[in-house]
Structure 1
Amino acid sequence: MTSSPTSVATRAAVPSLLILAYMSAVGPFGDTEYTPSLPRIARELHVTYGTAQLTMSSYLLGYALSQLLYGPFSDRFGRKPIMLFGAVMFLIGSIICAMSPTIRMLIGGRFVQSIGACAGGVIVNAAVRDAFAPAERARMLMKVDVVFALAPGLGPVAGAFIDNYFGWQANFMLLALMGAILLLATALFFPETNHNKNMSAITPSRIAGNYLIVIENGRFLYHGTLLGIAVAVMYCCLVEAPSLVMDTLGLPSSWFAVVAATLVVSFMVGTLACGLLERRLRVESRILIGYLIMMAGTIWMVVVAFGGFVTFWHMMVPIMVVFTGIAFVLPLAAAQAMAPFRDVAGSASAMLGFLEMGIPSLGTFGVSVLNESPAKDMAVSFLVLCGVALILIAFGSLLEARGVTLESAPEE
């Protein structure tokens, strides 16, 4: 049986897992890769440590806000041109950061860098929605999210080594190189997946209308919030881990390699377990299992942190349990949030990315306010976030009991 031209074109437009994973990873890696350099940046640029941390604040601000524009523009012009623009901005921002003689220029460079960094997440979600059948989306996102979750964990490992031997500017030179590779890979290997471009997608009234369509969808808000909370737990861990390892436990920065390895193992275990349950349990049940696993690890961590049993492995084992649960939630919640949208997939992806970065920004701010000890701060933040998620899931269960369906139906 011969394939029709349409089916051949459709297959040709399917992006590879490798390019999707790399596009998804560059932004989160750039988010945390330079963090071991913050003390050196503060010293060499003659500012306080708090001022140096504004480089992270500007990055998160640009990352969250830019996504709201990438979605509509990718609906209008296609996924590939917008991804190319993002890669160029990331490259330019990284070069500005590497050459910054003042903290103001570095803060501005980080903002420019973040404008490019956030493109990957928006375009990947939209491209998966464009190119894959409903049954395949969660599996593809599950694979991509392994890299997405590992990237911010591996970032400080690489950053600590580079800062120690080459200085803080070298960290941004590495990010510039990654941006150049992203630009080349997108130009050569990323196919256009949006074959139904919306010519009026970027008019102000249409942008507002599209986002209104998205946020009025209760399933989107429900799953998007659950996704954002899971990512917030992950980022709260990554923010506190450097201080836990180096300040509380007095270990060298090389131990970040051990931290990264444990996160790799736990996330892979969670991904495998979630996949094995695919045919046995519905999506909402697996999301609940993910959060119950996260809460179990959190309670374990609370006992360790407040019971005075803090050692490296006493903390890392419950963190591994938590990350196993995160691996359940990320791909399933993302796929369910995106499922209801066809014509405004780019806008939905952008709003999902806004939640995915906005909620973690609130979570990490809350951790900084606690300011007790890294172990206690991590345990309390995990407990609050997982508790909120489980309350939300309980509320969702009540709605389902009254006939409201939260699980998005597969599309043809």
Structure 2
Amino acid sequence: MTKTNYLKLILILGSMTALGPFSIDMYLPGFAGIARDLNTTVANVSMTLSSYFIGISAGQLLYGPLLDRFGRKKPLFIGLLIYILASLCCVFVKNIDAFIGLRFIQAIGSCAATVTSVAMVRDLFPVKDIPKVFSKLMLVVGLSPMLAPTIGGYVTAYYSWHVVFLILMCLGILVFLAAWLGLPSKFIPDTTISLKPKPIITNFIEIIKVPQFYTYAFTGAIAFSGLFTYVAASPILFMTILKVSAKTYGWIFAFMSMSFIGASQLNSLLLRRFKSEQMIFGALVAQSIISILFLIAAVNSFLGLYETIAFLFLFLACLGISNPNTAGLTLAPFAKNAGSASALMGAIQLGLGAFASFIVGVFVKNSIAPMVVIMCFSTVTAFFVLIIGKRTIKNTIATSFEDEITMVH
């Protein structure tokens, strides 16, 4: 593969993966305006985040078997068309219930791009390169939390939150065209895969029974729910509790994403010296210490704006290290059914994210403490899942060249 083709694939797959985060982050500065226009509360508006996460989680389970059965492109294009139409409908929404429903449908569409991009990483790149590719994808994806809330803040301030969804519709069209024109069709569909419920469920059960899958899928998903907690709580945290403007909030959110991007790129360098297992362990130890100190500071009212930003910056950096490695080790044992494996991994991650964002909507009102409690609990739980799960793995299918073991499914 030439360097030009490699870069083109990274950009296209990264844009596909970034569509979901853009759809999450870009409308966050408009929460107050949405609540006002739809005659509801900011807490109720935050439920549109929960419905979006639920939609992505459920949709991943739908698209996984479709990607393996019909190939990568057809389900991708159908999903993107759903996303484009749902984004347009969000522009004209009149009440919060309809908005919550449309966000669910929008998520069902966007997750086709997410699942396909992850599956195609497994299709197009050697196993040993997967964590590095995921780190590079995070560089592209990382632009979304930098650009999306900042753009959303200015669009909301000068126009309205409705325009945000017009922009998202246009992004969906651009991703559709890029995937149509630029992605190869190397994957050979497996026509033996049944789309009946029982075989699909059986296939998912077989995948989740693989010790390496369930250990790293649940470790990564539980740890990563801390990010969903932060995203769901951040409009309330910064604009309601800490009293910053929509524009300032957008810039803070953009600054925070630099930690995630920087850490994911540092991960690529560290993988030259350390194994993915070591990177995950070290990142979770650091994340546990940071979240415990964050909780102590929150409970004792030691946190102002800058202290809160500092703790969140360090917390997100740890996720930037652990996430590409847990994803790589989760998918490493699978080749033939990588679509279903990536879908199940994503469903677990987004399902836990939906639950975390729902808890945020219920408990985060006028205090930072509930958010930090959720983040601390998820981090420590992920660490214990890793320790216990590793005992069940007999031979790790590694993502580094010297440790690679071939495993056929």
Q: Which runs of 5+ in 2 are unaligned?
A: 399-403
Deviations 1:34-81 (A, max 9, x none): 233233223223344454444333322221111111011111111112
Matched, 1:156 2:158: no
Distance 1:15 1:210 in 2: 33
SS in 1 for 2:368: helix
Q: Per-residue deviation at 1:325? A: 0.9
Matching residue of 1:244 = 237
Distance 1:56 1:364 in 2: 7
When residues 299 and 58 of structure 1 are mapped into structure 2, their CA distance, relative to the original with a 3 A threshold, is closer
Matched, 1:139 2:132: yes
Matched, 1:228 2:194: no
Matching residue of 2:401 = none
Matching residue of 1:359 = 352
Q: How does 1:311-390 map to 2 (within 5 A)?
A: 311-371=304-364, 373-390=366-383
Matched, 1:57 2:46: no
Matching residue of 1:3 = none
TM-score w.r.t. structure 1 length?
Answer: 0.89
Q: Is the 8 A contact 1:304 1:315 kept in 2?
A: no
Deviations 1:332-366 (A, max 9, x none): 11111111112211111110110120111122223
Matching residue of 2:295 = 302
| % same residue | 27
Q: Out of 260, 275, 282, which is 1:289 matched to?
A: 282
Deviations 1:92-134 (A, max 9, x none): 0001111223434333322221111111221011100011101
Q: Which runs of 5+ in 1 are unaligned?
A: 1-6
Distance 1:373 1:191 in 2: 50
Distance 1:102 1:264 in 2: 31
Q: How does 1:100-111 map to 2 (within 5 A)?
A: 100-111=93-104
Number of residue pairs matched by the alignment? 401
Q: Is the 8 A contact 1:237 1:378 kept in 2?
A: yes
Matched, 1:265 2:258: yes
Q: What value does the CA root-mean-square deviation take over the aligned residues?
A: 2.5
When residues 25 and 410 of structure 1 are mapped into structure 2, their CA distance, relative to the original with a 3 A threshold, is farther
Moved more, 23-32 or 204-213: 204-213
When residues 108 and 157 of structure 1 are mapped into structure 2, their CA distance, relative to the original with a 3 A threshold, is same
When residues 341 and 243 of structure 1 are mapped into structure 2, their CA distance, relative to the original with a 3 A threshold, is same
Report 1 or 2 for greater relative contact order, CA contacts < 8 Å, sequence distance ≥ 6.
Answer: 2
Q: Is the 8 A contact 2:397 2:405 kept in 1?
A: no
SS in 2 for 1:118: helix
Distance 1:99 1:247 in 2: 26
Task: Give the counterpart letter for 1:76 in structure 2.
Answer: R
When residues 41 and 266 of structure 1 are mapped into structure 2, their CA distance, relative to the original with a 3 A threshold, is closer
Distance 2:202 2:107 in 1: 26
TM-score w.r.t. structure 2 length?
Answer: 0.90
Q: Out of 359, 378, 389, which is 1:396 matched to?
A: 389
Q: Per-residue deviation at 1:374? A: 4.4
Distance 2:211 2:140 in 1: 29
Distance 2:7 2:150 in 1: 33
Q: Out of 206, 216, 221, which is 2:209 matched to?
A: 216
Task: Give the counterpart letter for 1:25 in structure 2.
Answer: A
